[in-house]
Amino acid sequence: MSEKIKTVRGYHRNVTIVLGVILAIFLLIPTFVKNPYTLNVFILIFYMSTLSMAWNLLGGMTGQNSLGHAAYMGLGAYAASMLITKAHMNPWLSAVLGVIIVGLVAGVIFYPCFILKGPYFTLVSIAFGEALRQFIINSSFFGRASGIGLPFGRDSWLNFRFGSKEPYYYVGLAMVLLVYLIMKKIERSRMGYALRTIREDEDAAAAIGINPMKYKIMAVVVSAMVAGLVGFFYASYIRYIDPEMMVQAKSTESVLPAVVGGAAFVEGPLVGGLIMIPLSEFLRAKFSSILPGINMLMYAIVLLVVIRFRPAGILGWYDHSKFKTFIDTKILRKPPIEVIEEVEMMKQQGKEA
């Protein structure tokens, strides 16, 4: 018996080591990579992947395909920017308030909308995004179509404003990690099981005592809040926002990393973001000056190929691949699943006793 416990512990240790090494690599990148452009690509990866994780909570885990995430992101960016420029609030504080505002708005607006299912929810999310954009374009308080610029000035942590990339890199990395841990926690919690049950069959979920309405609202609110947080990061990084950031095409961009990486997995958006964003940047840098637009065509082809041949995404393929078996058995030394379950069971019993 103790042999089994040992192997399971060994496995967990190996997983921790591998994750630690990956994290260490990301932490060390700025000390080796000094080129601001390359760091810029990493920062893009961080915030687009985070946005995609937000989408994935609704689209992947709950099965509610939203096409309005650019609007939540925009709302977060606007809320934070308005608080900074008009109320002269500290950016960090305005980020917290901005995220809460986005959560409230999403909860209130979507409460009545969740009577709708499937494609109707998607349509409402599109309409919501466009309505919000039009509202800002027509409101002089929000600067209409001209947008808002954040004050330009000396580097400062207090004002979250830097000329160099490193601070944005680390804050972006921290944001990805934080959101990833939250999503992982949700996935393993009661809420995660409820959301997946709703995704598979909403009526069945209701029949076994899960309140679909309650959980869907929770998912929308959390998802919107994360998107709002990304909006704050975006505004602080780009330092200029306008209603164009809420257009439909931007919402689609938030879906792509998740779909390419594997929407069924919490890690999907991270893997998808790591592949698709450098790819898009690379194609533009190398080809757009040769034949304008060709980069988008090539990007689209890659996307079509992935969707056609790996509809479950890259992680969906990896999950059943020999590569995974190899990594699990040879590198992580993962014991058979029965052994892990047995040890888990023993731990449970130990606690109860």
Partner 1 sequence: MKKLIAFLGVLAMLLTMVSGISFAEGDTIKIGTIYAMSGGNAAIGENILRGINFAVDEINAKGGVNGKMLEIVQGDHAGDPQTGKSEAERLINQEHVDVIMGCHMSVVTDVVAQVCTINQVPMITAISTLDMLSNADHEAYEYFFRLCPLNSVYVRDMLQYLKDASEQTGEEIKKIAIFTDRAAIGQELIRCVELFKDEFGFDLVATVDYSSNATDLSAQVLALKQADPDAILCDSYIGDATLFVQTLTAQNYIPKMIVAKANGFTDPAFITNLGAAANGVASVVEFNPDLINGKEINEEFKAKYGVNMNGHSAESYTVVWLFKTALEAAGTTDGTAVRDAIAALEIDGEFPGGRKIILPYDKIKFENYDLAGEPHYRDNTSASVAIAQVQDGEWKTVWPFSFTDTQILYPAPLK
Q: Which positions touch partner 1 (CB under 8 A)?
A: 33, 35-38, 40-41, 44, 137-138, 144-147, 149, 151-153, 163, 234, 238-240, 242, 244-245, 274-275, 278-279, 281-282, 284-286, 288-289, 292-293, 295-296, 302, 305-306, 309-310, 314, 317, 321
Q: By C-beta, is 165 or 216 nearer to partner 1?
A: 165
Contact (CB, 8 A) for 220 and 58 = yes
Q: Does residue 329 come out as left (phi exceeding 0), alpha (psi in the -120 to 50 range) or beta?
A: alpha
In the complex, least distance from residue 289 CB atom to partner 1, rounded to whole angstroms: 4
Residues 6+ apart with CB under 8 A from 60: 258, 263, 264, 265, 268
Q: How far apart are CB 284 and partner 1 at their closest, in Å? A: 6
The minimum distance between CB 71 and partner 1, in angstroms, equals: 16
Tell how far CA 347 is from the center of its chain: 33
CA dihedral angle for residue 221, residue 222, residue 223, residue 227, rounded to 10 degrees: 100
- Residues listed for the chain: 353
DSSP 156-214: BTTTTB-SSSHHHHHHHHHHHHHHHHHHHHHHHSHHHHHHHHHHH-HHHHHHTT--HHH
Contact 227, 128 (CB under 8 A): no
Rounded alpha-carbon distances, angstroms, from residue 75 to 50, 71, 240: 16, 6, 14
Shortest Å distance, C-beta 245 to partner 1: 8
Could you give the C-alpha distances from 48 to 115, 257, 274, in angstroms and in order?
30, 8, 10
Q: Which is nearer to partner 1, 289 or 329 (CB)?
A: 289
Q: Closer to partner 1 at the Cβ: 107 or 278?
A: 278
Nearest distance, CB of residue 135 and partner 1, angstroms: 12
Task: Put residue 203 in one of left, alpha, beta given phi > 0 → left and psi -120 to 50 → alpha.
Answer: alpha
- In whole angstroms, the minimum distance from the beta carbon of 52 to partner 1 comes to 15
Q: Which of 46, 352, 68, 43 is nearest to 224 (CA)?
A: 68
Q: Which is nearer to partner 1, 8 or 77 (CB)?
A: 77
CB 130, min distance to partner 1, A: 12
Q: Nearer Cβ to partner 1, position 121 or 237?
A: 237
Task: Name the minimum Å distance from CB 171 to partner 1.
Answer: 16
Rounded to 5 degrees, what angle do the CA atoms 140, 66, 63 make?
160
* Residue from 308, 36, 21, 76 nearest 162 by CA: 36
How far apart CA 124 and CA 110 sit, in angstroms, is 9
Find the shortest distance in angstroms from Cβ 48 to partner 1. 9
Nearer Cβ to partner 1, position 215 or 232? 232
Q: What are the backbone angles phi and psi of residue 189, rounded to the nearest 5°?
A: -90, 175
By beta-carbon proximity to partner 1, the closer residue of 222 and 276 is 276
Residue number, 45 or 224, with CB nearest to partner 1: 45
Taking the least distance from each CB to partner 1, the nearer of 4 and 239 is 239
Measured CA to CA, the distance from residue 293 to residue 16 in angstroms comes to: 43
